[in-house]
Amino acid sequence: MSLSIKAELNADVNELARATTLNVLKGVVLATPRDTGRAKGNWQVSISGPINTQTELLDLTGRLAINKGLVKILAAKTVKNPVFWVTNNLPYIEGLNAGTSTQAPAKFVETVIKQVTNG
């Protein structure tokens, strides 16, 4: 007798990938310093490759960026072994992550990823 758990494992991997991506997205959006809301609004989710564009979304609370990302994450429910990308292409996001704003500590992105992945 042989049993296959491949389908169950694929579903579990997909669910874990989606949950982790959503938690990373929420974390980085909420941790991003806010002036106009452009940096918060430029966090974007994609599957199988990074987004190379910017959005003009001004998002003071981060809710819009999180909701837009959630739609993409939920759409990947049936994707086998999804690879998610959480991207922000603003030219100054690296500076914000380096600590140029007093609103967020340096390396806030890395801190969120470590917290979410227990790394």
Q: What residue ranges in the chain does DSSP mark as E strands?
A: 44-47, 84-87
Residue spans of the domains in the chain: they are 8-111
| Tens digit of pLDDT at every position of the chain (119 positions) | 666 788 888 889 999 999 999 999 999 999 999 999 999 999 999 998 999 999 998 999 999 999 999 999 999 998 988 999 999 999 999 999 999 999 999 999 999 999 999 87
Let me know if 77 is exposed, middle or buried by CB neighbors in 10 A (0-12, 13-18, 19+): exposed
On whether the CB atoms of residues 22 and 73 are closer than 8 A, the answer is: yes
